[in-house]
Structure 1
Amino acid sequence: MGSTSNSTKNTGSTTTTSATTKHSNSAPTRPSVHYYSSTGDIEKLSNLLNNSATSPDTPDSEKRTPLHHAAFCGSAACVNFLLDKKANANIKDSAGNTPLQWASSRGHLECIKLLVEKGGVDINTKDDKNGTPLHKASLFASAECVLYLLNGKADPRAVTTNGETPLHHASAGGNPQCVELLIKADSKVNAVDNDCITPLHQASFSGHSGCVSLLLKKGAKVDPRDIHGISPLHNAASAGYVDCVEQLVRNGENINCVDIEGVTPLHHTCFNGNLQLTKRLIELGAKIDMVDEMGETPLHKAAFNGHKEVCEYLLYLDPTMIDCRDSRQSTSLHLAAFNGLIDMVDLLIRYKAQINIKDEEGATPLHKASFNGHSSCAKLLVDKGAPIGIVDSQGATPLHKAAFNGRSKCLATLIRSGAELEVKDSQGGTPLHNAAYNGHSDCCRILLKKGANVNAVDTHSSTPLHLASAAGARDTVDVLIQFKARIDAKNFAGKTPLVYAIKKNHSDVARVLIRAGADLDQVSLRSSVDFTKTFGTENHDEIYQIVNKRESSNHEVDELQLALEQQAKEDMEQLAAEKQKLLLVKAAIAQFNSHPKKGIEFIVVNGLISEKNPKEVAHFLLTHSELSKQAIGEYIGEGDDFNLQVLHAFVDELDFSGLDFDVALRKYLLTFRLPGEAQKIDRMMEKFASQFYQHNPDNKVFVNNDAVYVLAFSVIMLNTDAHNPNIKKKMTKAEFLRNNSGINSGDDLPPDFMENLYDKIVTNEIKMERDGNQANQHVEKKGWLTKQGGRIKTWKKRWFILTANCLLYYKTPQDHEPCGIIPLENVVVTIDPQKKFCFMLHSSQEQMKACKLNSDGTLVQANHAAYFIAAANMAEMDSWVQSIKSNIHSNPNFEQLLKRKAETIRGRGKVSTKPIQNRKQTISGPPPTATNTPTSASNNTTNVGSPPNSGGVLNSSGSKPVTFSSTSSPVQQQTSALS
């Protein structure tokens, strides 16, 4: 469910404090010069400075001097005294603020005058985010301070690093006098910041109707759009300001305006549950049946968040909307059931919502409620007539869904309501299979107590014990054994649960099975390697002896365990060395991906290859899949002697013998990304041509490697032409043959060969290798959660994946690119007691190292001090919290991963499934005191990444430049749990 968006911006780029800093008026254990300055105690301050060697410029931990503290607290006497003591008024603190910025931010006019006139501070001095004193005064102070600064030649058009002018700040601060002064001083009324946000956007979101009115009178455009297509009317509607909405509509704004996601102002008010403003928008002409890019109506938005009054009003106006479907074929009832909103479900049913309606996955509202464990909601649906045995497109019943997701309470409710225990899905799996597969021992116990067949088999003849053993779910294995599961049951592959436990390296499960009497005869000699890998790495003879003797008594198992524990101690040093090498390899990969030449030096210095020679380097590049394909392409394409030798060694390791031309070219282009320079591409393709021709001396097509070289370029041209949707006029077969005439030493290549080659490329795209999402290949946990937006308190349902020490979130499970990435580096997880089933991710740093998908498809630095995430229930929240805690780490190389990821996303161009933006239009409040310590969030979202790699070469006629670009790799397929 996509939430609504807001063109709102934290202009905290000029914020003078961070989340961890504060001006405190509480007395320290030992009173300091800073304390007396901040309290305005001029007598004690003078005594301390006059009777000690303390400097008036002594900095505190944030590099703030006594003059900073006095200016912040407005003690003109202390400011004057410190200036008399020759305190430096131009010293900047850790955020780049002078005392003048602090005084301006608090509206202390006398202090401002002293610092400018006596202290000689530059009135346009800038902090680290280019914020000037006028920016601070415009947001936080009185019109008198703004007027004084303007009279002192403060620049009214000064911009911060985010592009905000003082007028942006004054509009957000809501002081019409400051707005008017700045406009008179020639501040541009329609100025836009880096995100195309205008002062009118700021005033509208903050609800300052006086500023909105003044800006419109002074010529502000009523309908500007930011980079997300969001208008001031969207902002006012989202924030709930009726006066601002009416003013904007009266001045000509379209009441049904849409942003780039198709979201209208009415979507916003319905999502937020603002009934009063919803009614007013409709009175002003808002259409209630408009859909956004997700196909969602205002009714969907209201139902998703459980706003009954808004839903009832919309249905009163148009009852036929009750079963409107979004782009996933979900109705409002699906969304309400998914979130367990029982009152909303009851309301929608009363308005005749179809209770058995199916979405694109064939799921009914009962499936949705069961999957998320909403037992009361599921019971209501059943009581209202929902068939308890209805199946989705995978043949799964609601009971399958509850079992799969470990919803024990809902599972019990469904069983009490008559759910069938032995019904099988399209893979032949029963609900018990689903519970066992995911290790939900409590669900298994409930099902077995109610009579589920512990030895049921699926289409592969695998039992629940097979699945639990393969998953390493020891508690579940214990439960299944207690209920007489067949220990040595064989599936169609002839394998027992013990074989899978050993194969998957689940030593604890294997020991449980052996103690329960698992037949060691089923563990072949060939499997003994897996067996020893599971239990230990040395003393194989003793383990072989137990395996070969087929002795399974508890006594022998105990002896085996003791021997293995002894060996484990002896292996500690070896394992530590292997771990150290693994860390070095990871560091080398990160270094190479960032700076290839430095990476190679790192590899050599740390002994990851025996010596720096081309063959060793080439072998390393070919055998480590985590290396950036782009970096490999850039490195081997360089013209230095050593790089050229590496290129030749690299290609020499590739065997093209007996391969068709197009197959060989495909194989070659999977090992790197073509670089952007024509000379580099030329060298790389020339080596390919030479290697292919040399490996296929008996070919009857090419008379020399020059023909291979030219045709390789021509095929890449054809591939780009045929599969680039932006190229409307495609190259024909006749044109392809004509372009390649005479390239075979003056002759044409065989027509049959060329026509067949054309068909192969046009029907089967050459997938140029790109850096894939390596982190997403090993998923530890995934599922739906609800995430609070960054700067406005709305919630969005997102598909989360926990993998490789990162938390990624997507709009849908089918999306290939994440909306955002949260690396779990130095992150703290805490439960939020104020919100139901909610936990918080935060960091001791000013901001978390996270990134999000921008409107142009690039990843940019996210702007969060914390993330608030809600689960469907307590058990699910606890599970996520524990899983995330186990993945928290310290990873200094994440920036390189982010950079590579951003480059690949940008190379793809703008994606169609971008996250709905959620950007709060609140400029940071006043600098913190002991009772006011807001967090600072920089909004300097500089795009990372580069344009798609391309390079120009000449076509066969030697004249027309050709551009080559990489394409995305195929979607990875999931493998079976028992593979």
Structure 2
Amino acid sequence: MSSLSFNTSIDKSSEQLNVTEKSHEEPPSKLRHLFRRLPRNRLLKFTKNMPEFQEIINKSNDTADTLVSATNNEAAHDICLVSDSPHYIVRVAGTGNVQEFEKYLVEDPPARLTVFNPQGLCAAHNAAARNRVGILTLIVQYHGDLNIEDKNGWTPLHHAVRNNAMAALEFLLEHGVDDVRLNKAQEAAIHLGVIHNQLKTLTYLVTKRPDQVDLPGERKKTPLHYAALIDNVEAAKILTSHNANIYIKSEVGSYPVHVAALNSSNRVFNHLFETAKSLEGGTMELLNICDAENHRPLHSSVIGGNIEAVEICLNNGGSIDDQQDDLSTAVHLASSQGSLELLKLMFGCQPDLIPKVIRMADVQGMIPLHKASMGDHVDVIEYLLETGSDIDTRDVSKRTSLLLAALNNSVQAVCYLLSKSASLSYRDDTDRNLLHVTILQNLSIETIGNALFKRDNFRILFDQRDLDGYYP
């Protein structure tokens, strides 16, 4: 063996030795954390076996590299470009790239223009939503449908209005799209302009299509109904400035003013009264319209617990003694709901009507005190008695507030009325007294007895028979 080959052999052996020593000195990073936790005796044993572990790791790395290489080679033959997807044309329509869009149209225009992406949109919808007039122009040139519906029944016009795409909106209207078509939620483009507060598109629509300002949508609601529902006063102003009719009733029998009252849309509610002032009938006509349940705006405001709307009604000529078809007043409704704040507001605004309204009876002969007693509203009962209400007034069935409270399980009201000397002598039209009713309703004798047995004449209740001949 020559000295050169010998030296070369020594160098190679030295390199192998260095690698072996290095593997002893520097274990792979994935295993280093093990050394920090092993006891000293186990660490020495582990280090002696390191060459074996190193060989296993090297082999596993070689295998992994081989697998990755093979996978990459296979994937190279199966790559699917985004541009090869049938949905790509919808994406391109949104970018506004006219050249790219037309390149895909040339092959098969009718089929390409009716491709829907996973969100249920086709090219015309995406172009309209993103204000891509150039794309819409190409769709027209290739005889595409500008009224095509997405999965929710939205046309490109719906999308243009929803996204405030003014240029697309103008283009679509100029090309005669169906501007009254309803989507699956029974909403036209004009309704979406109100719902989504797209005021520019709404203004353009009612300017170009003034006959649609009262277009009926879901359940025959007009755009003004939608504005009243969400208190969109700016939309309401646009609509009324283009002669929207404030007296159109929806399918469920509600006018915009009732919708506003029940939904605390007070800005729209006030605007409707301002609009009514400029009309022939004035605010009194608006105050006297009734919905399907025969509620006037004042009554609807009370039912909705809408204090501000009640005040608006009263300031515009509403009266607390106005009666509905069932002869109930706003005071009846407030008493029934236990709305002490509303009662104080109404009585404060029209104190001269208090003596009259607390004695007014509805078709059942009930006064406001009866209603409060039935609802167990002790604070309202107290207030009505302080204003002069008669504690022993009887309805058409001869029932006093005390008997009505017992019939409706209003135990606190029964006890309070007894403490205020409500009469025990009155019986209803079946000759049942308080004790009959208390037992029939399974009320707490112990609770009621604490108030009842303090009365001097409570024993008369035990000896009275009803029409069926029964004692309590």
TM-score, L = length of structure 2: 0.62
Query: 1:81-92 to 2 correspondence within 5 Å?
Result: 83-86=31-34
Distance 2:27 2:124 in 1: 52
Q: 1:909-951, CA deviations, whole angstroms, 9 ceiling, x for partnerless residues?
A: xxxxxxxxxxxxxxxxxxxxxxxxxxxxxxxxxxxxxxxxxxx
Q: What is the aligned counterpart of 1:381 among 229, 239, 243? A: 239
Determine the structure 2 residue equivalent to 1:322. 179
State whether residues 378 and 416 of structure 2, in contact with CA within 8 Å, keep that contact through their aligned partners in structure 1.
Answer: no
Per-residue deviation at 1:289?
Answer: 1.2
Letter in 2 for 1:267: H
Query: 1:667-678 to 2 correspondence within 5 Å?
Result: none
Distance 1:121 1:402 in 2: 76
Per-residue deviation at 1:456?
Answer: 2.2
Kindly indicate whether residue 27 of structure 2 is the aligned counterpart of residue 153 of structure 1. Answer: no
Determine the structure 2 residue equivalent to 1:406. 264
Determine the structure 1 residue equivalent to 2:358. 487
State whether residues 93 and 124 of structure 2, in contact with CA within 8 Å, keep that contact through their aligned partners in structure 1.
Answer: yes
Letter in 2 for 1:480: M
Determine the structure 2 residue equivalent to 1:183. 75
State whether residues 210 and 242 of structure 2, in contact with CA within 8 Å, keep that contact through their aligned partners in structure 1.
Answer: no
Q: 1:729-772, CA deviations, whole angstroms, 9 ceiling, x for partnerless residues?
A: xxxxxxxxxxxxxxxxxxxxxxxxxxxxxxxxxxxxxxxxxxxx
Per-residue deviation at 1:154?
Answer: 5.7
State whether residues 376 and 410 of structure 2, in contact with CA within 8 Å, keep that contact through their aligned partners in structure 1.
Answer: no
State whether residues 363 and 393 of structure 1, in contact with CA within 8 Å, keep that contact through their aligned partners in structure 2.
Answer: yes
Determine the structure 1 residue equivalent to 2:200. 343
Q: Larger Cα Rg: Structure 1 or Structure 2?
A: 2
Letter in 1 for 2:422: N
Letter in 1 for 2:190: L
Distance 1:277 1:534 in 2: 72
Query: 1:411-490 to 2 correspondence within 5 Å?
Result: 411-418=269-276, 419=283, 420-484=286-350, 486-490=357-361
Distance 1:122 1:243 in 2: 53
Determine the structure 1 residue equivalent to 2:82. 212
Determine the structure 2 residue equivalent to 1:525. 403
Per-residue deviation at 1:255?
Answer: 1.7
The secondary structure found in structure 2 opposite 1:416 is helix
Per-residue deviation at 1:339?
Answer: 3.5
Q: What is the aligned counterpart of 1:302 among 142, 155, 160? A: 160
Determine the structure 2 residue equivalent to 1:331. 188
Distance 1:442 1:480 in 2: 11
Identity %: 20
State whether residues 404 and 431 of structure 1, in contact with CA within 8 Å, keep that contact through their aligned partners in structure 2.
Answer: no
State whether residues 422 and 453 of structure 1, in contact with CA within 8 Å, keep that contact through their aligned partners in structure 2.
Answer: no
RMSD of aligned alpha carbons: 4.4
Per-residue deviation at 1:422?
Answer: 1.8
Q: How many residue pairs align between the two structures?
A: 362
Determine the structure 2 residue equivalent to 1:806. none
Distance 1:248 1:533 in 2: 78
The secondary structure found in structure 2 opposite 1:442 is helix
Distance 1:183 1:490, change over 3 A: farther
State whether residues 233 and 248 of structure 1, in contact with CA within 8 Å, keep that contact through their aligned partners in structure 2.
Answer: yes
Distance 1:542 1:261 in 2: 63
The secondary structure found in structure 1 opposite 2:251 is coil
The farther-off stretch of 500-509 and 399-408 is: 500-509
Per-residue deviation at 1:333?
Answer: 1.9
Letter in 2 for 1:86: L
Determine the structure 2 residue equivalent to 1:625. none
Query: 1:958-977 to 2 correspondence within 5 Å?
Result: none
Letter in 2 for 1:83: L
Q: What is the aligned counterpart of 2:171 among 286, 299, 313? A: 313
Query: 1:18-167 to 2 correspondence within 5 Å?
Result: 83-86=31-34, 151-153=65-67
Q: 1:662-681, CA deviations, whole angstroms, 9 ceiling, x for partnerless residues?
A: xxxxxxxxxxxxxxxxxxxx
Unaligned runs of 5+ in 1: 1-77, 89-115, 125-147, 158-179, 190-199, 201-210, 217-221, 224-230, 551-566, 568-979
Distance 2:327 2:59 in 1: 81
Letter in 1 for 2:289: V
Unaligned runs of 5+ in 2: 1-25, 37-52, 277-282, 393-399, 425-446, 448-472
State whether residues 374 and 404 of structure 2, in contact with CA within 8 Å, keep that contact through their aligned partners in structure 1.
Answer: no
Distance 1:466 1:490 in 2: 9
State whether residues 269 and 278 of structure 1, in contact with CA within 8 Å, keep that contact through their aligned partners in structure 2.
Answer: yes
Per-residue deviation at 1:435?
Answer: 1.3
Per-residue deviation at 1:329?
Answer: 5.3
State whether residues 454 and 483 of structure 1, in contact with CA within 8 Å, keep that contact through their aligned partners in structure 2.
Answer: no
Distance 1:531 1:352 in 2: 58
Determine the structure 1 residue equivalent to 2:50. none
State whether residues 262 and 291 of structure 1, in contact with CA within 8 Å, keep that contact through their aligned partners in structure 2.
Answer: no
Letter in 1 for 2:75: I
Q: 1:58-85, CA deviations, whole angstroms, 9 ceiling, x for partnerless residues?
A: xxxxxxxxxxxxxxxxxxxx99556334
State whether residues 438 and 468 of structure 1, in contact with CA within 8 Å, keep that contact through their aligned partners in structure 2.
Answer: no
Distance 1:151 1:241 in 2: 42
Per-residue deviation at 1:256?
Answer: 1.4
Q: What is the aligned counterpart of 1:391 among 242, 246, 249? A: 249
Distance 1:121 1:549 in 2: 102
Distance 1:503 1:156 in 2: 83
Distance 2:421 2:375 in 1: 18
State whether residues 439 and 473 of structure 1, in contact with CA within 8 Å, keep that contact through their aligned partners in structure 2.
Answer: yes
Structure that is richer in helix per residue: 2
Query: 1:849-860 to 2 correspondence within 5 Å?
Result: none
State whether residues 375 and 410 of structure 2, in contact with CA within 8 Å, keep that contact through their aligned partners in structure 1.
Answer: no
Letter in 2 for 1:491: D
Determine the structure 2 residue equivalent to 1:368. 226
Letter in 2 for 1:416: E
Per-residue deviation at 1:501?
Answer: 3.9
Determine the structure 1 residue equivalent to 2:469. none
State whether residues 302 and 334 of structure 2, in contact with CA within 8 Å, keep that contact through their aligned partners in structure 1.
Answer: yes
Distance 1:87 1:151 in 2: 27
Distance 1:236 1:273 in 2: 13
Distance 2:367 2:228 in 1: 32
State whether residues 528 and 547 of structure 1, in contact with CA within 8 Å, keep that contact through their aligned partners in structure 2.
Answer: no
Letter in 2 for 1:454: I
Distance 1:123 1:396, change over 3 A: farther
State whether residues 523 and 547 of structure 1, in contact with CA within 8 Å, keep that contact through their aligned partners in structure 2.
Answer: no
State whether residues 220 and 251 of structure 2, in contact with CA within 8 Å, keep that contact through their aligned partners in structure 1.
Answer: yes
Letter in 2 for 1:528: A
TM-score, L = length of structure 1: 0.32
State whether residues 180 and 189 of structure 2, in contact with CA within 8 Å, keep that contact through their aligned partners in structure 1.
Answer: yes
Letter in 2 for 1:153: L
Letter in 2 for 1:548: A
Per-residue deviation at 1:235?
Answer: 5.8
Determine the structure 2 residue equivalent to 1:803. none
State whether residues 114 and 122 of structure 2, in contact with CA within 8 Å, keep that contact through their aligned partners in structure 1.
Answer: yes
The secondary structure found in structure 1 opposite 2:289 is coil
Distance 1:259 1:244 in 2: 18
